[in-house]
């Protein structure tokens, strides 16, 4: 049978509040004799505090709510890993919610998490928050929150921004340096990744190198393996494309499959670059050239910012900018003249 604080209090002949304060190191006003009596019972029965119960008294549940658009997405699994690596050593656990990109699910989870007395919330959202849940609304008065939203919701602090534009610009510039001018892009349909920065990097790299932008060379799809496969099939109806910049590495995997099925080879016939820098991309054949973004670090810093907000509410949370890096491997080939 699991021991409760109430059981310990009865066995020690003291109040529930006394037990709770001693367990939370707030029992300096109690005699050593009382403290020893309580702690001996705790040790003897291997009592582990129930955070939800102790929350009533010490106002900390040591639980963090986290809402993500898609738990199966490679980017988010790495991000969650980063969050856990910061929180776990501090004794926090995550209550993870999967919003499936829908705002009504996010709102439902925000309310649920608040009722469950989490200490704070990490919200990865593709949406602009409605007024009632905007960062300056009353909802968050006693609820610390950090947004992982690509800077979508306006705020002065706690912004986690990735230099996606620079990464995409470098990727497309590499294609151009290797002699490619007919360069396609696989772009998202909707969801968390409004890849405008990646798309802008693609367009501006073309423009700066004197290549006209052609809307027919941009295909939309889900940011998944299947999405990349379907979009590549449509894109390659334009027979003259020699290079494809994929919105993320998952799309690049689908892109590889579609190119293979058409009897073409990478990079001999078509060069491919991805975006994310997933570990998986090293095992693709040929190894994928990709833009690495530090998804683990984004999660790590989001968690750090949240804990700082919980523990030092009067302190202003900083902003953090993450660099991207073009990782050159084997999926890009130089075009020779003639």
Q: What's residue 139's pLDDT?
A: 78
Same domain as 299, residue 288: no
pLDDT of 338: 41
Indicate which CATH number applies to the domain containing 24. Answer: 1.10.260.40
What is the value of pTM for the model shown? 0.80
pLDDT in tens, 238-296: 889 999 999 999 999 999 999 999 999 999 999 999 999 999 999 999 999 999 999 99
Q: Does 285 lie in the same domain as 188?
A: yes
331 in any annotated domain: no
Q: For residue 55, what pLDDT band results from cuts at 50, 70 and 90? A: low
In this structure, the answer to whether residues 96 and 157 fall within a common structural domain is: yes
Specify whether 232 is located in the same domain as 315. Answer: no
Q: Establish if 251 belongs to a structural domain.
A: yes
Task: State which of 94-98, 190-194, 238-242 shows the largest mean pLDDT.
Answer: 94-98
Instruction: Indicate the number of domains in the chain.
Output: 3
- What mean pLDDT is reported for the chain? 89
What is the domain-level CATH number for residue 238? 3.40.50.2300
Domain that holds residue 254: 164-292
Same domain for 168 and 253, yes or no, is yes
Query: Is 200 in the same domain as 285?
Result: yes
Tell me how far apart the alpha carbons of residues 166 and 52 are, in angstroms, rounded to a whole number: 45
Measured CA angle at 199 (ends 99, 331), to 5 deg: 100
Beta bridge partners of 147: 123
pLDDT computed for residue 58 by the predictor: 53
Check whether residue 233 and residue 281 sit in a common domain. Answer: yes
Are residues 49 and 118 part of one domain? Answer: no
Asked if 170 and 280 sit in the same domain, the reply is yes
Instruction: Specify the higher pLDDT residue, 130 or 35.
Output: 130
Q: List, for residues 97-121, the tens digit of each pLDDT value.
A: 999 989 999 999 999 998 888 999 9
Does 246 map to a domain? Answer: yes
- On whether residue 21 sits in a domain, the answer given is yes
Same domain, 282 and 180: yes
Does 241 lie in the same domain as 177? yes
């Amino acid at each position: 049978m699991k021991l409760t604080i109430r059981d310990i209090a009865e066995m020690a002949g003291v109040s529930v509040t006394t037990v709770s304060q001693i367990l939370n190191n707030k029992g300096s006003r109690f005699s050593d004799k009382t403290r020893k009596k309580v702690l001996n019972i705790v040790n003897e029965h291997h009592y582990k505090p129930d955070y939800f119960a102790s929350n009533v008294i010490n106002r900390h549940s040591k639980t963090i709510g986290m809402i993500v658009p898609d738990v199966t997405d490679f980017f988010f699994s790495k991000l969650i890993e980063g969050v856990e690596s910061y929180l776990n050593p501090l004794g926090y656990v995550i209550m993870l919610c999967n919003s499936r990109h829908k705002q009504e699910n996010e709102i439902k989870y925000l309310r649920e998490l608040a009722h469950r007395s989490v200490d704070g919330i990490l919200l990865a959202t593709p949406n602009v928050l409605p007024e009632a849940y905007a960062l300056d609304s009353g909802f968050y008065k006693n609820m610390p929150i950090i947004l992982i939203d690509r800077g979508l919701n306006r705020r002065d602090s706690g912004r986690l921004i990735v230099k996606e534009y620079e990464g995409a610009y470098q990727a497309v510039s590499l294609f151009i340096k290797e002699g490619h001018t007919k360069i396609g892009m696989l772009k998202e349909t909707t969801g968390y990744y409004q890849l405008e920065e990646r798309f802008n990097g693609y367009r501006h790299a073309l423009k700066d190198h004197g290549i006209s932008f052609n809307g027919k060379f941009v295909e939309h799809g889900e940011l998944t393996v299947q999405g990349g496969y379907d979009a590549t099939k449509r894109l390659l109806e334009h027979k003259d494309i020699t290079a494809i910049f994929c919105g993320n590495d998952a799309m690049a995997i689908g892109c590889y499959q579609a190119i293979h099925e058409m009897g073409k080879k990478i990079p001999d016939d078509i060069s491919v670059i991805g975006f994310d820098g997933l570990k998986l991309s090293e095992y693709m054949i040929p190894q994928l050239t990709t833009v690495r973004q530090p998804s683990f670090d984004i999660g790590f810093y989001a968690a750090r910012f949240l804990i700082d907000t919980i523990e030092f509410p009067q302190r202003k949370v900083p902003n953090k900018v993450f660099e991207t890096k073009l990782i050159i491997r084997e999926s890009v080939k130089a075009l020779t003249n003639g």
